[in-house]
Amino acid sequence: MNLQEPFTVDGDGVFTTCSSSSCSRWWIPITFTSVAEGAFTNFHRLQPVFFLRPDDNQSSMPQLEEPFVVNLQQTGYYRVNYDQSNWAALANLLATNCTDIHVLNRYEVIYVPYTYVCFCLKSFLF
């Protein structure tokens, strides 16, 4: 599992991934919430729960009940690529009761898949 997958986009919109030896890796502050924590009532909890280290190859994130959101209110400067089932659960929640997700994370849930599709990184089937 690659927890940090650095990429760059040049001025012409050309996407390039970086090999682990050629790109910098960072300490990444992790904030998250899930429906198990009270229907997403913890979007105000912005202090990191833990940090991913630059050399981490395994996630120390606990198992979370879906749907869950990482990077609350987009306080970290990174994008999150969830697994297919969490993307589907988030899409369903947006369609049925979007106000359960903080407005900044609603933007993320819409924009991140759009970005990945535009750069042909992933395909999404909701």
pLDDT of 50: 84
**Residue 71 is assigned to a structural domain of this protein:** yes
- Distance CA(31)–CA(69), nearest Å, equals 8
**Residue 2 is assigned to a structural domain of this protein:** no
Contact in structure between 50 and 75 (CB atoms under 8 Å): no
Residue 52: which of 17, 1, 95 has the closest Cα? 1
Q: Which residues of 73-88 are buried (b: 16+ CB within 10 A; e: fewer)?
A: bbebeeebebeeebbb
pTM attached to this predicted model = 0.72
**Residue 109 is assigned to a structural domain of this protein:** yes
Total domains in the fold of the chain: 1
**Residue 125 is assigned to a structural domain of this protein:** no
Per-residue pLDDT tens digits of the chain, which is 126 residues long: 345 566 666 666 565 666 555 567 778 888 888 876 555 667 777 888 888 887 776 666 677 778 888 888 888 888 888 888 888 899 888 898 888 888 888 888 888 777 777 766 555 554
Work out the angle at residue 99's Cα, subtended by the Cα atoms of residues 113 and 107, and round it to the nearest 5 degrees: 30
Rounded to the nearest 10°, the torsion over CA 71, 89, 2, 11 is: -70
Domain residues for the domain of 51 are 7-118
pLDDT of 79: 80
pLDDT of 2: 43
